[in-house]
Amino acid sequence: MEDKIIELIEKVKKQSPLVHSIMNYVTINDCANVLLAVGASPIMADAPMEVEEITAMADALVLNTGTLKSWSKDSMICAGKVANQKGIPVILDPVGVGASRLRKQTVQDILNQVRITVIRGNRSEIAWVAGVETLSTGVDCFEKSSLEKEIELAKKAASKWNTTVAVTGTVDVITDGNQLIKIYNGTSMLSKVTGTGCMTTALIGAFLAEGTSMTAAVAGVSMMGIAGEIAQERAGSIGMGSFKVELMNVLSQMNGEKIREKLKIEKE
Amino acid sequence: MEDKIIELIEKVKKQSPLVHSIMNYVTINDCANVLLAVGASPIMADAPMEVEEITAMADALVLNTGTLKSWSKDSMICAGKVANQKGIPVILDPVGVGASRLRKQTVQDILNQVRITVIRGNRSEIAWVAGVETLSTGVDCFEKSSLEKEIELAKKAASKWNTTVAVTGTVDVITDGNQLIKIYNGTSMLSKVTGTGCMTTALIGAFLAEGTSMTAAVAGVSMMGIAGEIAQERAGSIGMGSFKVELMNVLSQMNGEKIREKLKIEKE
Amino acid sequence: MEDKIIELIEKVKKQSPLVHSIMNYVTINDCANVLLAVGASPIMADAPMEVEEITAMADALVLNTGTLKSWSKDSMICAGKVANQKGIPVILDPVGVGASRLRKQTVQDILNQVRITVIRGNRSEIAWVAGVETLSTGVDCFEKSSLEKEIELAKKAASKWNTTVAVTGTVDVITDGNQLIKIYNGTSMLSKVTGTGCMTTALIGAFLAEGTSMTAAVAGVSMMGIAGEIAQERAGSIGMGSFKVELMNVLSQMNGEKIREKLKIEKE
């Protein structure tokens, strides 16, 4: 897997895939910069009138339900259908899905009408996707439970929607229902900066343009984890502002050597 | 007051209140990060269809009229009414209220239909709220006037709307119509970065979730002022980019010691 | 030209012109900060209901078609007409114009209904404006062609719309159809951060408020190029996060000395 990740990182740098993102407005700038950092070309567009054309020329589609609107729901479903027709991979980030009927209905409709290549979320979000009731606040308010519970949720969601699922948390779990990979990279500092989840999703989007769903998901999640670790070493004691700057620095200079040195994954 | 502020800062870190913000799109990312920096949980959501549910589970509501739309006006009034029903504190930042009929009408309607716990603005904005005509451009274009004038406006606005008012400027004035606190912290560098006013409002929102209106307003305004001073010491001569990074660093590491060393307030 | 640029930079710092921007949501925060960095006053507002009033009190208007909506198209045309009536300069950044019918129709309608003082774009965007068909993806996907081709496109666009055109790329070309200036400043690092094109447009907007179209365009484009060069010297090997921070630092501290030392332009 390590070699595959490194190869995929190099391929994205070389191919510079166009990633169309229908994003929330909180983290849209950071996600565009993260895509540029790994060599992808971001295009952000969410107007119902133009998403069809823009998805059609993209190499991957990212759907993110933060700061959702009724019209951006329409854009997501339309873009998703075009992606399916054209064989373009789609990643869904069901941000705060439990928080409102609008978000629940949107995620439900997307899952029913669009084949999703990867879903990435925190445990509460993936629990909702798996059909398990939780009290989500958009934040991971799930009661502390075992890694086993997280794996069970991920597998359930993957099987239910016939997709690959990435649950990010203290330990990250990636599964397509059969294969299972646990990632032990990361730092709690990543939860102190808004949008690191969305940025991880964007990274997976870039990797999906050039790789398979399991490899792309593991590459995106582990890259963010490793970048967080290195950023913390460099700026952790200085504060959140410097941590975020270093995170971008490290992402823009990620390479095989750092992956080999830091990657901590476990296959099951 | 000093002890109360320090206690409140600790309480927010411990309780991690959920702060629902209906924000402008210019400063929405910085406001989310500032909330995380002090330990609160941000949730940004502005669609009319979902604000009712999201406010209902929040510990504080922030309303900000920058980049206002006709539909976000509806969201603000709806969310404000829910907050009032549930006893959730509401802070209003009437960004550039004098600049258009849409903003004037929105602020007027919010004030008429929602009980506001704290209003924070610059002198032009608070003058408008107090019913004093000014030529606002969204920027503080008020003719230079004495601190006495600022205090008079703040008291007038507080009495008129039976609320607590925070006017930020060279000297910051906080009043509930009876009590009056002047804050001498801050630096002019804060006006060179967009959104420091909005971020101050977000901070007060976090503190309102756990404290009374006067203490929360003084805590939010003085914390931004002190963070600005320390950031300027560290990065002031380097430039605006580094100043903003340091501002986030300091906010994420604010503690009782720094408050005690730097706080400059005067009670009247 | 060097003296004129330095004079213009000083004038903007002194006059602090109000720049009304109808912006995309990806780069809106950076553009506001860039305007503050050079001493201008940013006001971001895009609601159809308020743009008329806000443009009317502005000193310059910036129109940017990234993350376009059907309603923001209306806002742009309305604001543009008000600017024309009041003699307020207008700069258009036709972001990704080739990418969708919505963007094409919007740019077409703006150009037909509003007199534009300056158009700034990459080669693909300016080719579209000049009426030359390209396969745009919002990214500069034009096949590598000679500087002569770029100049030809710029002149064609300038003549067609009777305006000043700034094409940014490896070499930047500024022309009003008669005069032609080539700028050799800049670094490829600028294309690794999202929004540096939009920020350049915002800078030109600030300079247009106080200067003529050729001088303002050369000032804005060369300032970004020079700032990029200095930022790269300081942070280029560290990564993209630090580069962006230094870019803001340098822009906020730009002065005549740096311009004189670094400016590389050629008049034809």
Q: How many CB pairs under 8 A join A and C?
A: 91
Asked if the C-beta of C147 comes within 8 angstroms of chain B's C-beta atoms, the answer is no
Q: Which of B140, B240, B243 would best serve as a mutation to test chain C binding (most C beta carbons within 10 A)?
A: B240
Asked if the C-beta of C247 comes within 8 angstroms of chain B's C-beta atoms, the answer is yes
The band of A139, judged by pLDDT with boundaries at 50, 70 and 90, is very low
Asked if the C-beta of C62 comes within 8 angstroms of chain B's C-beta atoms, the answer is no
Instruction: Answer yes or no: is pLDDT of A98 > 50.
Output: yes
**Residue in chain A lying closest to C191 (CA):** A36
B177 by Cβ neighbours in 10 Å (0-12 / 13-18 / 19+) ranks as: middle
Asked if the C-beta of C60 comes within 8 angstroms of chain B's C-beta atoms, the answer is no
Asked if the C-beta of C18 comes within 8 angstroms of chain B's C-beta atoms, the answer is yes
**Residue in chain A lying closest to C73 (CA):** A47
Please give the Cα distance from B10 to C206 (Å, whole number).
Answer: 43
Asked if the C-beta of A248 comes within 8 angstroms of chain C's C-beta atoms, the answer is yes
In order along its 268 residues, chain B shows pLDDT tens digits of 999 999 999 999 999 999 999 999 999 999 999 999 999 999 999 999 999 999 999 999 999 999 999 999 999 999 999 999 999 999 999 999 999 999 999 999 999 999 999 999 999 999 999 999 665 444 444 444 689 999 999 999 999 999 999 999 999 999 999 999 999 999 999 999 999 999 999 999 999 999 999 999 999 999 999 999 999 999 978 999 999 999 999 999 999 999 999 999 999 8
Per the prediction, chain A carries an average pLDDT of 95
Collapse the DSSP code of A166 into the 3-class scheme (helix H, G, I; strand E, B; otherwise coil) and give the result. Answer: strand
What are the tokens at B31? 């406001």
Asked if the C-beta of A184 comes within 8 angstroms of chain C's C-beta atoms, the answer is no
**Residue in chain B lying closest to A139 (CA):** B41
**Closest CB to B241 among C18, C25, C245:** C245
**Closest CB to A248 among C101, C102, C241:** C241
Mean predicted confidence (pLDDT) in C60-77: 97
**Closest CB to C26 among A41, A44, A50:** A44
Q: Kindly determine whether residue C28 and residue B29, on different chains, have CB atoms separated by under 8 Å.
A: no
Contact B39, A240 (CB under 8 A): no
Query: What's residue A135's pLDDT?
Result: 52
**Closest CB to C43 among B27, B137, B242:** B137
Please give the Cα distance from B240 to C245 (Å, whole number).
Answer: 8
The length of chain B is: 268
Please give the Cα distance from C188 to C4 (Å, whole number).
Answer: 27
Beta bridge partners of B60: B19
Chains in contact with chain A (at least 3 beta-carbon pairs closer than 8 A): B, C
Query: What's residue B105's pLDDT?
Result: 97
Please give the Cα distance from B95 to B103 (Å, whole number).
Answer: 8
Please give the Cα distance from B20 to B61 (Å, whole number).
Answer: 5
Asked if the C-beta of C242 comes within 8 angstroms of chain B's C-beta atoms, the answer is no
Number of Cβ within 10 Å of residue C147's Cβ equals 12
Q: Kindly determine whether residue B241 and residue C248, on different chains, have CB atoms separated by under 8 Å.
A: yes
Q: Kindly determine whether residue B30 and residue C29, on different chains, have CB atoms separated by under 8 Å.
A: yes
Instruction: Answer yes or no: is pLDDT of C137 > 90.
Output: no
For B65, phi then psi, to 5°, come to: -95, 15
Residues with Cβ within 8 Å of residue B95, at least 6 apart in sequence: B24, B64, B65, B66, B103, B121, B125, B138, B197, B198
Which residue carries 């006067």 as its tokens? Answer: B214
Beta bridge partners of C64: C93
Q: Considering only residues 121 to 140 of chain C, which have any Cβ-Cβ distance to chain B shorter than 8 Å?
A: none
Asked if the C-beta of A29 comes within 8 angstroms of chain B's C-beta atoms, the answer is yes
Q: Kindly determine whether residue B25 and residue A25, on different chains, have CB atoms separated by under 8 Å.
A: yes
**Mode of pairing for the β-strands spanning A164-167 and A172-175:** antiparallel
- Alpha-carbon radius of gyration of chain B: 17
Side-chain-side CA neighbours of residue A5 (13 Å): 25
* pTM of this structure: 0.95
Q: Kindly determine whether residue C138 and residue A29, on different chains, have CB atoms separated by under 8 Å.
A: no
Residues with Cβ within 8 Å of residue C92, at least 6 apart in sequence: C63, C107, C110, C111, C116, C118, C119, C120
Pinpoint the alpha helices (H) of chain B: 2-15, 28-37, 51-56, 70-86, 101-113, 123-129, 147-161, 196-208, 213-235, 240-252, 256-262
Contact C213, C118 (CB under 8 A): yes
> How confident is the model over A238-268, as pLDDT tens digits?
999 999 999 999 999 999 999 999 999 999 8
**Residue in chain A lying closest to B16 (CA):** A139
Query: What percent of chain A shows pLDDT beyond 70?
Result: 95
Query: What's residue C42's pLDDT?
Result: 98
Chain C residue numbers with beta carbons less than 8 Å from the beta carbon of B195 are 29, 32
C180-183: strand order across its sheet: C41-44, C18-22, C60-64, C90-93, C118-121, C164-167, C172-175, C180-183, C265-267
A1 is in an annotated binding site: no
Looking at per-residue pLDDT, the higher value among C138 and C233 belongs to: C233
Residues with Cβ within 8 Å of residue A160, at least 6 apart in sequence: A129, A130, A131
Mean predicted confidence (pLDDT) in C84-108: 97
Instruction: Answer yes or no: is pLDDT of C55 > 70.
Output: yes
Asked if the C-beta of B57 comes within 8 angstroms of chain A's C-beta atoms, the answer is yes
Mean predicted confidence (pLDDT) in C214-221: 98
Q: Which of C21, C193, C245 would best serve as a mutation to test chain B binding (most B beta carbons within 10 A)?
A: C245
Which residue carries 């009929």 as its tokens? Answer: B101
Contact A219, A263 (CB under 8 A): no
Note the ipTM here: 0.94
Asked if the C-beta of A180 comes within 8 angstroms of chain B's C-beta atoms, the answer is no
DSSP run (H or E) holding B182? strand B180-183
Please give the Cα distance from B35 to B202 (Å, whole number).
Answer: 7
The band of C135, judged by pLDDT with boundaries at 50, 70 and 90, is low
- How far does the CA of residue B230 sit from the closest CA of chain A (Å)? 13
Chain C residue numbers with beta carbons less than 8 Å from the beta carbon of B69 are 47
Query: What's residue B236's pLDDT?
Result: 79
The band of C145, judged by pLDDT with boundaries at 50, 70 and 90, is low
Angle at which helices C213-235 and C196-208 cross, to 10°: 140
Please give the Cα distance from B33 to B26 (Å, whole number).
Answer: 13
Residues with Cβ within 8 Å of residue C218, at least 6 apart in sequence: C1, C5, C174, C181, C183, C265
Please give the Cα distance from B30 to C2 (Å, whole number).
Answer: 36
Smallest CA-to-CA distance from B199 within B31, B14, B20 is with: B31
Q: How far is CA C262 from the centre of its chain?
A: 20
- Alpha-carbon radius of gyration of chain A: 17
Number of Cβ within 10 Å of residue C134's Cβ equals 19
The length of chain A is: 268
Collapse the DSSP code of A251 into the 3-class scheme (helix H, G, I; strand E, B; otherwise coil) and give the result. Answer: helix
Binding positions of C for ATP are 120, 168
Smallest CA-to-CA distance from A90 within A22, A178, A184 is with: A22
**Closest CB to C50 among B100, B139, B240:** B100
Query: What's residue A145's pLDDT?
Result: 61
Q: Kindly determine whether residue C67 and residue A57, on different chains, have CB atoms separated by under 8 Å.
A: no
Asked if the C-beta of A260 comes within 8 angstroms of chain B's C-beta atoms, the answer is no
Asked if the C-beta of C211 comes within 8 angstroms of chain A's C-beta atoms, the answer is no
Output the CA torsion sign for B47, C68, A107, A222: negative
B228: DSSP letter: H
What are the tokens at A15? 């191919």
Asked if the C-beta of A46 comes within 8 angstroms of chain C's C-beta atoms, the answer is yes
- How far does the CA of residue A225 sit from the closest CA of chain B (Å)? 19
Q: Kindly determine whether residue C253 and residue B239, on different chains, have CB atoms separated by under 8 Å.
A: yes
Residues with Cβ within 8 Å of residue A144, at least 6 apart in sequence: none
> How confident is the model over C9-34, as pLDDT tens digits?
999 999 999 999 999 999 999 999 99
Query: What's residue B134's pLDDT?
Result: 61
**Residue in chain A lying closest to C192 (CA):** A36
> How confident is the model over A140-175, as pLDDT tens digits?
444 446 899 999 999 999 999 999 999 999 999 999
Query: What's residue B268's pLDDT?
Result: 85
Which residue carries 């119509």 as its tokens? Answer: B177
Q: Kindly determine whether residue A18 and residue C238, on different chains, have CB atoms separated by under 8 Å.
A: no
What are the tokens at A241? 């502002």
> How confident is the model over C196-208, as pLDDT tens digits?
999 999 999 999 9
Cα dihedral B244, B248, B253, B255, rounded to 10, equals 80
Per the prediction, chain C carries an average pLDDT of 95
Asked if the C-beta of B197 comes within 8 angstroms of chain C's C-beta atoms, the answer is no
- C249 — alpha (psi -120 to 50), left (phi > 0) or beta? alpha
- How far does the CA of residue B161 sit from the closest CA of chain A (Å)? 31
